[in-house]
Structure 1
Amino acid sequence: MKKFFIILLGAFVLLGGNVPTSQAKVIYDGVEIVKGQTGKLTFSKDVKVYKKNASGQFESMLVKKGNYFRVYNIEKYSGQTYYWMSSGYRVQASNLTVFKAIPFEQRVQFYKNPAYMWINRDKPFYSFYNESDSLATHAHSYYTYLNKWGNFIFEHGELVNTYDMSFVGGGIEKRTIDPTDIQLIEPQVVNKETLFNVTKDTVQHIKPYIINNNDYYQRLARPLPAGTVLKSAGFKIGNYYAVTFNTDADLYSIFFIPASYVVEQAS
C-alpha cells in the first residue's frame, strides 16, 4: 500500500484542459473578474490594512466600508484564513471581513490547461485509495499538484473530485471540495529537449514549492550535486522546472527543481 503512494508521489503531470474565456469581460456579482482571482473582499466598517514594502517597513491604508478588493490568493493554516488583496495587502479573516468566493466554474474558464494546487495547510488532500495511510497525508499536503489524483466536475453547483477505483475492484468515488482550498495556476510550456545543469547542491523537490525545512518528503528527496544534468519534463510551475533524469520523461520520474538552481545547457 505504502509502496503505491511512493511510486505515485512523483506523478505530477498535466492532464485535461479547459477552453479559456474569450476577450469579453467576465462579470460576477456586478463587477469584472480576472484570471487568477479567487474572490472579492469588502469590510463591514472602515478599517486599516497593512503591507510590507520593499524596504521591509509596514505601510497602512484606510479602507472604507463597502470598498471592493480582488482576492488572488488565500492562505489557510493554524486555524486561520488570510486573504491577499489586489493591492498587495494581506488581511486575516475576521468579523470585519466580508469575503465572497467566485464560483469555480467562472474561475476555471480563464485557463486552457490549469494546474490544481491544494492550498489548505490545515486539511491535507487525502488520497481516495486509502485515507488511513499516513503517506497519503504527506503526498497530498500543502500545494500538492492535484491533476493526477482524479477529475474535477460540477454537480448541483458543487465542485466534485472523482476518481476511478476500478483498478482495485471499485467504482467511481466522489468527494465534494471547498473551491477556496484550490488555487489555479497556468503552467508554462518548456521544450522537452531542454537540458539543465545544476549550479549548486540541492535536492529533488517532490512538489513545485518549498514548504518548509521539516517537510517529510522534502527531507527524503534525493540530493542533487552541482553539475548534475537534468532534462525538461515539458513544463514549469511558478519558479520550479519539472525535470527528469530519464531520456524520456515518464509518469513516475518527474520531480521539480528551483529555476535559480539550474542553467540551461548549451546545445
Structure 2
Amino acid sequence: MKKYIITLFIVLAFLTNPSSSKAEVQWDGAQVVKGQTGKMTFTKDVKVYKKNTNGTYSSMTVKRNNYFRVYDIEKYKGKTFYWMSSGYRVQATDLVVFKKVPLNIRASFYDNPGYINISRQGDEHSYGTHYTTGVVYHNISIGENLFYSDYNETGDSIDHYIDGSDIRIVETTKRDEGFYMLTADAQMLYGPTNGAMEAGMYSKGTAFSSIGLEINGYLMVGFEFENNGYLNLGSGFYFPVTLLEPVKK
C-alpha cells in the first residue's frame, strides 16, 4: 500500500507541475531560461537604476563578479544597453562583462522560433527585420549567430552574418492561408514589431493575401487584392493580427 501511495504522489506532482519534467538548460556554468539573451557580471560594485511608472527612479547596488541574466538588448547611436530583470537597465562600459547565449540554445526554448533584428545602429538590416527562409532570405542557419544567403543582381549567392545579440526570438504560429481584410486604417510595416520601418498607410477594407504566418502578434502579408486583380507588393510586410479578419469570399 505504501508503494502505491508514493507512486500516486509522484504522478500528482508531475500533473500539477509538468515543467518539472523538462531538463534544465545549462550554458557557461549556469542555468539558461526562456527569453534570456545573455549573462552579465561587473568588474566592481556598481549602482544600477530603473525608471518607475510614476516617473521616479529606483536603484540598487550590484556586487562585483555577481552573475545577472540579460533579457533584452538595445543598440542605437553607438551605445548598447542591457536589460536585467525587474526593469533595471545598464549601459555597456568597461565595468560590464557581457556574454551572449548562443542563438541555437535560446531557440531551443521555442516550438517555432522567429528571428527579429533589434539593432538600431543602421547596420546591414533595419530594426524589426524578420529572417524567414523561403520568403526573402535563403539557407538560414542558426548556430551561435545567424547566417543566411541571398542573391545579387547577377544571381550570385551572397552569405551574410548577423550577430546573435542583434536578434530577438519570438514564437511563430500558423493561421489559415488566404485573404485577410483590414478592419481599420492601419500602417503597414516592414517588420513584425512596433517601431519597424513603415511601408505606407492602408484603408479599412483593403485585402491582402497571406501564407498565414503570425510572428510576434503580426501577420505577414503579400499581395494586395483590388478590383478583381492583384497588386504585387512582394512579401514580408506586416500588420497587427488584431486589425485583420479573414475574407470569406
Give the alignment's TM-score, normalised by structure 2. 0.72
- Structure 1 position 209, deviation (Å): 2.5
Aligned to 2:38: 39
Task: Give the corresponding residue for 2:57.
Answer: 58
The C-alpha deviation readout for 1:139-190, integer Å capped at 9, x for no partner, is x311211223233337xx76462426499353x4334432212222222333
User: Match of 1:161?
Assistant: 147
Matched, 1:146 2:128: no
Equivalent residue number for residue 159 of structure 2: 174
Whole-angstrom CA distance in 2 between matches of 1:197 and 1:178: 35
Is 1:258 the counterpart of 2:240 in the alignment? yes
Distance in 2 (alpha carbons) for counterparts of 1:158 and 1:239: 26
Corresponding residue of 2:72: 73
Is residue 109 from structure 1 mapped to residue 94 from structure 2 by the alignment?
no
Percent identical residues:
42
Cα contact 2:50–2:87 (8 A) shared by 1: yes
Give the number of the structure whose residues are more often strand, by fraction.
Answer: 2
1:187 aligns with 2:172: yes
- Asked whether the equivalents of residues 131 and 137 of structure 2 are also in contact (C-alpha less than 8 Å), the reply is yes
1:203 matches 2:187: yes
TM-score, normalised via structure 1 length: 0.68
Aligned alpha-carbon RMSD (Å): 3.3
Report the counterpart of residue 124 of structure 1 in structure 2.
Answer: 123
| Superposed displacement of residue 230, structure 1 | 5.3
Q: Is the 8 A contact 2:192 2:239 kept in 1?
A: yes
Q: Distance in 1 between matches of 2:150 and 2:187?
A: 33
Structure 1: any 5+ residue segments left out of the alignment? 1-21, 126-139
Taking the aligned partners of 2:55 and 2:179, their CA distance within structure 1 comes to 38
Amino acid at match of 1:173: I
Alpha carbons of 1:113 and 1:168: their partners in 2 closer, same or farther (altered >3 Å)? farther
Q: 1:179 to 1:240 in 2, by over 3 A?
A: same
**Residue correspondences, number:** 220
- Equivalent of 1:237, from 200, 215, 225? 215
When Rg is computed on C-alpha atoms for both structures, the one with the higher figure is 2
Q: State the 1:193 CA deviation.
A: 5.8
